[in-house]
Structure 1
Amino acid sequence: MQRLPGKARSRQEVLRECEAEVAKMRGYIPRVLWDFLIPDLSRAFRWRVQLDCGCTTEVLTREDGTPPHEAQWKDHRSPLPPGQMTCHHDDSPPPPYRVIAEWGDRREVTFPADPIEPSDDTDPRVWSVLRRDEPHTSAFWEVTLACGHVEEAIAPSLDWVPASGPRRAAPERVQQMSAEFEDAWRANPELQTERDREHTRRMLADGWPAPEPERLCYSCPRVRMILAYERVGWLVPRQRQSRKATSTTPTPSRSALERRLRKAESEAERLRAELDRIDQGPLRPD
Structure 2
Amino acid sequence: MSVDMATSDPEDATRSRGTLLMKVPGRARPQKQALKEFNEAVTELRRRYEPAFWPLVVPEARDMFRWRVLLDCGCAQEVYTHGDDRFPDDRSYLDHMTDAQLPPGEFWCAATHASAPNPYREIVEWCDRKIIDFPADPEEPEYAMDPETWALIRHDGPHSSAFWRVKLECGHYGQVCTEIAWKPEDGPKLASRKRITEMRADFEESWSTDGDGAWPAEGPEREHLRKMLDLRWPRPAPDQDCYTCAHISRIVGYQRIGWLVRRTPPVPAPAPRIDRDKIAARLAAAEAEVERLKHQLSSVEN
TM-score (norm 2): 0.75
Match of 1:203 in 2: 228
Residue 231 of structure 1 pairs with residue 256 of structure 2: yes
Match of 2:245 in 1: 220
The change in CA–CA distance for 1:239 and 1:191 in structure 2 (over 3 A counts) is same
Once the two structures are superposed, residues 225-276 of structure 1 have per-residue CA deviations (whole angstroms, 9 ceiling, x without a partner) of 111111111111223235679xxxxxxxxxxxxxxxxxxxxxxxxxxxxxxx
Which runs of no fewer than 5 residues in structure 1 stay unpaired?
246-286
Residue 137 of structure 1 pairs with residue 157 of structure 2: no
Please give the alpha-carbon distance, in whole angstroms, between the structure 2 residues aligned to 1:241 and 1:112: 65
The change in CA–CA distance for 1:22 and 1:173 in structure 2 (over 3 A counts) is same
Match of 2:210 in 1: 188
Aligned-partner SS, 1:188:
helix
Please give the alpha-carbon distance, in whole angstroms, between the structure 2 residues aligned to 1:180 and 1:68: 51
Identity %: 40
Residue 19 of structure 1 pairs with residue 43 of structure 2: no
2:136 alignment partner, one of 102, 106, 113: 113
Once the two structures are superposed, residues 135-161 of structure 1 have per-residue CA deviations (whole angstroms, 9 ceiling, x without a partner) of 211112221212221111122x22222
The change in CA–CA distance for 1:25 and 1:79 in structure 2 (over 3 A counts) is closer
Please give the alpha-carbon distance, in whole angstroms, between the structure 1 residues aligned to 2:57 and 2:181: 35
Once the two structures are superposed, residues 68-123 of structure 1 have per-residue CA deviations (whole angstroms, 9 ceiling, x without a partner) of 12211111211111001012434122322212122212222222222233346333
Q: CA shift at 1:165, angstroms?
A: 1.4
Match of 2:24 in 1: 4
Match of 1:166 in 2: 188
AA partner of residue 4 (structure 1)? V
Please give the alpha-carbon distance, in whole angstroms, between the structure 2 residues aligned to 1:123 and 1:38: 51
Size of the aligned set, in residue pairs, is 245
RMSD (Å), alpha carbons: 2.1
Once the two structures are superposed, residues 186-210 of structure 1 have per-residue CA deviations (whole angstroms, 9 ceiling, x without a partner) of 1223221223211110001001101
Moved more, 70-79 or 23-32: 23-32
Aligned-partner SS, 1:153:
strand
The change in CA–CA distance for 1:25 and 1:69 in structure 2 (over 3 A counts) is closer
Match of 1:176 in 2: 198
Aligned pairs for 1:86-97 within 5 A = 86-87=108-109, 88-97=111-120
Match of 1:35 in 2: 55
Once the two structures are superposed, residues 2-30 of structure 1 have per-residue CA deviations (whole angstroms, 9 ceiling, x without a partner) of 12121111110011111122223334433
Please give the alpha-carbon distance, in whole angstroms, between the structure 2 residues aligned to 1:123 and 1:22: 49
Please give the alpha-carbon distance, in whole angstroms, between the structure 2 residues aligned to 1:244 and 1:205: 79
Please give the alpha-carbon distance, in whole angstroms, between the structure 1 residues aligned to 2:88 and 2:45: 24
AA partner of residue 16 (structure 1)? K
Residue 123 of structure 1 pairs with residue 146 of structure 2: yes
Please give the alpha-carbon distance, in whole angstroms, between the structure 2 residues aligned to 1:239 and 1:119: 64
Match of 1:258 in 2: none
Aligned pairs for 1:65-76 within 5 A = 65-75=85-95, 76=97
Please give the alpha-carbon distance, in whole angstroms, between the structure 2 residues aligned to 1:90 and 1:53: 8
Q: CA shift at 1:184, angstroms?
A: 1.7
Which runs of no fewer than 5 residues in structure 2 stay unpaired?
1-20, 271-302
Moved more, 85-94 or 214-223: 85-94
Structure 1 ranges of 4+ moved more than 4 A = 242-245
